[in-house]
Amino acid sequence: MRFLKNLFFGMLVLFSAGISFSQDITKHEWKDRVLLVLSDNFSKIESQLQLLKKDVNGLKERKLVVYQIMPNSYKKGLESTIAPPSNTIYVDMKKKEDNFEIVLIGLDGGIKLRQTKLLTSKKLFVLIDSMPMRQAEIRKN
């Protein structure tokens, strides 16, 4: 039951975040994990990206796709540039009052982590590696 609730909530949040962004995100369901890095301060986003860039192979191994989201724009990937404006993504996705937030969305579309501090690759990987679907991936490989 909790799984269905998380799945429903995750998909509701994603669909409410704007048509083009929703299309980008929903294509990842059951294929990739998604990490949303939200901030109105680009230097905070850049600090988070630098932490993630330290282990790009670990990100790929865990099928993790990163989205950088600012109040009026978003971008997929670890590069420092931001994509053209989008109206509602930042407002719809950001829930905490801090000016920086990270949201991890699992393969099932459920929100697995939401925090307002920088996230190290090590902590991220420990969390992902403890998930049942990741455990199955490890056993399979």
For residue 127, the one-letter residue type is L
Checking if the pLDDT of 91 tops 80, the result is no
Cβ burial, residue 125 (10 Å; 0-12/13-18/19+): middle
Six-digit token pair at 27? Answer: 């294509």
Cβ burial, residue 121 (10 Å; 0-12/13-18/19+): middle
Least confident of 8-12, 111-115, 130-134: 8-12
Checking if the pLDDT of 59 tops 90, the result is yes
CATH code of residue 81: 3.40.30
Mean of all residue pLDDT scores within the chain: 80
Question: What pTM was computed for the model?
Answer: 0.77
Q: What is the tens place of the pLDDT at every residue in 9-31? A: 444 444 444 445 555 677 888 89
Number of domains observed in the structure of the chain: 1
User: In this predicted structure, what is the pLDDT of residue 13?
Assistant: 47
Q: What is the tens place of the pLDDT at every residue in 63-86? A: 999 999 888 888 888 876 655 555
Segments of the chain assigned E as strands: 33-39, 64-70, 73-76, 100-105, 111-115
Q: Report the C-alpha dihedral over residues 106, 109, 114, 119, rounded to 10 degrees.
A: 30
CA distances from 138 to 14, 16, 64 (A): 28, 33, 15
User: In this predicted structure, what is the pLDDT of residue 19?
Assistant: 43
- Expressed as residue numbers, the domain containing 17 is 2-140
Rounded-to-integer distance, Cα 28 and Cα 65, Å = 8
